[in-house]
Amino acid sequence: MVYNWLQRFDEDSIEKAASNASCPGQPPKLDHEERTEVHKVLEGLPESAGYDAEEWNTALVQRLLEEQFDVEYSRTSAFRFLT
């Protein structure tokens, strides 16, 4: 972040360099509608979604995301769906 600011300072006026433009980052793997759908599935029991388990865990969320949405999430990112 500091390096980017210094580079902008060298290239632009001080007013432009001092501002933080948005940093887009990596695009989300799921759009808002898909994320809403995942949360709705997770509100129910895994059995309702066709899984042989009594409660959701990160490994099962990862499996759901891979099977139903064709995306891979790390365990940490899959856990965020449960919180």
Domain ranges of the chain: 30-83
Low-confidence ranges of the chain (pLDDT < 70): 1-6, 8-23
pLDDT the model gives residue 26: 86
pLDDT the model gives residue 25: 82
The count of residues in the chain is 83
pLDDT the model gives residue 20: 60
Give the torsion sign (CA, 49, 54, 55, 56): negative
